[in-house]
Amino acid sequence: MLVLGMMSGTSADGIDVALARISGAPPNLNAKLLDHASSKFPSPVRKEILRVAEQQPISAGELSQLNFRLGELFGDAALAACRRFKVSPRRIALIGSHGQTIFHQGRATSYLGSPTASTLQIGEPSIIAARTGITTIGDFRPADMALGGQGAPLVPYADYLLYRHPKLGRVSLNLGGIANITVIPADARPDQVFAFDTGPGNMLIDALIQHFTRGRQQFDKDAQLARSGYLSRPLLKALLQDPYLKLKPPKSTGREYFGTPYVKKLLALANRYKVKPNDLIRTVTTFTAVSVADALHTFVLPKHEIHEIIVSGGGAENPLLFEALHLATLGPPRKVYSGSFPRRLVIEMRLPDPGRKAAPRPKDVSFLTILRSSDFGIPVEAKEALAFALLAYETFHQRSSNIPSATGARGPAILGKVSYAPPR
Ligand SMILES: Nc1ncnc2c1ncn2[C@@H]1O[C@H](COP(=O)(O)OP(=O)(O)O)[C@@H](O)[C@H]1O
Ligand SMILES: [Mg+2]
């Protein structure tokens, strides 16, 4: 089956589209990424998404309009991708569209006198199906939440299918707007997989760049601005006190926490510590990397033998973020082998003694490798879109694809809603 997966994450930088050929059924499901593309949101649309995602007021009418407008943009992105891939939409059996999250409250909070959790991804799937002529599955999260889960993360199912290994423990790290990890112990069963958001991904870096360039630049291309600044250790230390980092998993976060108010706080801190703009960008880039490494050292490595960390998402394209992640996770390299993969970095390292009640390790020397998903044939910017192609395929076959140990759901759920293509 040829399946398109479409994703727009918390960065709201645009729509990523992945084309996959998928066959079989778990545990013998085969997925091959054939191609990928991405398209940008028109600037006023992006501004409105970010405004709404920060919980600024919007009328019901405007929200309804935005849902349909995004449906058109997702539909157009699918058609544009087909033209680029030189594949007729008629050959594509199915689309899985994540949509754009504008609100996510995974844990119940009191609302009108009752504890309520909810989530909202927009980009109307019926519009996508009508525009492309391809049956579209969307709205994946509510079915998991209806079973008491947090509706997130959903990518761990794909991580499990793509990365599970009989001998190697692996962590899949996605650096999108928010950074999240999936832990897949060696030879794991689905119920041994767990996942959580470690904290910011590109969100704070992007916001600072947009602030200092007055919107002329959206992100720190190739870390050029961060590289021209210096790290402020006192500020880094202050940032690492953030209470989210200390919270025990499972936990999830988003623009609600690491959005505009957080950035205001950052700018005030920078003032207090007399940190210049480029120094702030560098320090926040380092903070992002250290917060991920911290989560690994606190919540993962003491309990699980991990051999590989596989990085995806736009943040994997930020060279300074990637280097800092490497340093913060593994410490300074002792030996660097450059294997057959040009981007593969293998570092021999001595894991720091976690000093916690950790399971005894067979040896105190372990090999941990940091790789990119592209080393597995999945370009870093296509990984999440591919995941939603996989989830759509599972739903189409009426199989569940949430991982209850990752979302907290009472049990398996068949995710999403089907919008059929108009009859031909
Ligand atoms: N060449 C690059 N240099 C630095 N950062 C990059 C580069 N390419 C992508 N990024 C970062 O990746 C982000 C987009 O990542 P993405 O995985 O699409 O996030 P999301 O899933 O939240 O949409 C950009 O906003 C930017 O911060
Ligand atoms: Mg994106």
User: Are residues 54 and 145 located together in one domain of the fold?
Assistant: yes
Alpha-carbon Rg of the chain, whole angstroms? Answer: 21
353 pocket-lining for ligand 1 (C-beta < 6 Å):
no
User: Are residues 99 and 187 located together in one domain of the fold?
Assistant: no
pLDDT for 357: 40
CATH code where residue 76 lies: 3.30.420.40
Is residue 302 assigned to a domain? yes
Q: Which helix (H) or strand (E) holds 270?
A: helix 260-272
Ligand 1 closest atom vs CA 384: 21
The mean pLDDT value for 143-152 works out to 96
Tokens of 95: 């689309």
Q: What tens digit of pLDDT does each residue of 169-186 get?
A: 999 999 999 999 999 999
The mean pLDDT value for 379-400 works out to 97
Per-residue pLDDT at 44 exceeds 60: yes
What's the gap in Å between 313 CA and the centre of ligand 1? 7
279 pocket-lining for ligand 1 (C-beta < 6 Å):
no
- Ranges 188-197, 217-226, 298-307, 360-369: which has the least confidence: 360-369
From 203, 214, 332, select the one nearest 257 (Cα to Cα).
Answer: 203
User: Are residues 246 and 318 located together in one domain of the fold?
Assistant: yes
Whose atoms come closest to the Cα of 312: which ligand? 1
User: Are residues 388 and 348 located together in one domain of the fold?
Assistant: no
Give the separation between CA 267 and CA 272, rounded to whole angstroms.
9
User: Are residues 125 and 238 located together in one domain of the fold?
Assistant: no
Site to substitute for ligand 1 among 205, 222, 253, 317, most atoms within 8 A of C-beta? 317
User: Are residues 72 and 12 located together in one domain of the fold?
Assistant: yes
**Helix, coil or strand: residue 262:** helix
Tokens of 318: 């930020």
Burial class (CB in 10 A: 0-12, 13-18, 19+), 353: exposed
What's the gap in Å between 25 CA and the centre of ligand 1? 32
Beta strands in 112-235 (DSSP E): 114-122, 136-138, 170-175, 178-184, 194-200
Q: Which pTM value belongs to this model?
A: 0.91
Tokens of 195: 């996942």
Residue 48: domain span: 2-151+382-419
Chain-centroid distance of CA 377 in Å reads 18
317 pocket-lining for ligand 1 (C-beta < 6 Å):
yes
Residue ID of nearest Cα to ligand 1 atom 5: 318
DSSP states of 33-100 as a string?
EEEEEEEEPPHHHHHHHHHHHTT----HHHHHHHHHHHHHHHHHHHHHHHHHHT--GGG--EEEEEEE
User: Are residues 398 and 327 located together in one domain of the fold?
Assistant: no
User: Are residues 130 and 196 located together in one domain of the fold?
Assistant: no
Per-residue pLDDT at 239 exceeds 80: yes
User: Are residues 143 and 162 located together in one domain of the fold?
Assistant: no
Predicted confidence band of residue 196 (pLDDT cuts 50, 70, 90): very high
Q: What is the mean pLDDT of the chain?
A: 91
Give the separation between CA 374 and CA 382, rounded to whole angstroms.
9
Is residue 424 assigned to a domain? no
Whose atoms come closest to the Cα of 175: which ligand? 1
